Amino acid sequence: MSQKILDTVHLPPDLRKIPVEDLPQLAQELREFIIDVVATKEGHLGASLGVVELTIALHYVFDTPNDLLVWDVGHQAYG
């Protein structure tokens, strides 16, 4: 089995090295990871799954962590 894209991402600059055409695969791997976490611990699944592409896009386009992102997540930060 080939290495997961998610396993290669440790910092935001790693994400920006991924070709754009591979980002949907990364999003799928992130969703699977979130589902696994919520399945073993309790939490809100929908909110976390709903922002996967948005999160990838923001980190891909902006120079995080130099560009700061502010999230209002409240109790939905389980994933």
Residue 4 structure tokens:
């997961």
64-76 tens-digit pLDDT: 999 999 987 766 5
- Provide the residue type at 71 as one letter: W
SS (H, E, C) 24-74: HHHHHHHHHHHHHHHHHCCCCCHHHHHCHHHHHHHHHHCCCCCCCCCCCCH
Predicted confidence (pLDDT) per residue in 3-58, tens digit: 899 999 999 999 999 999 999 999 999 999 999 988 898 777 887 888 999 999 99
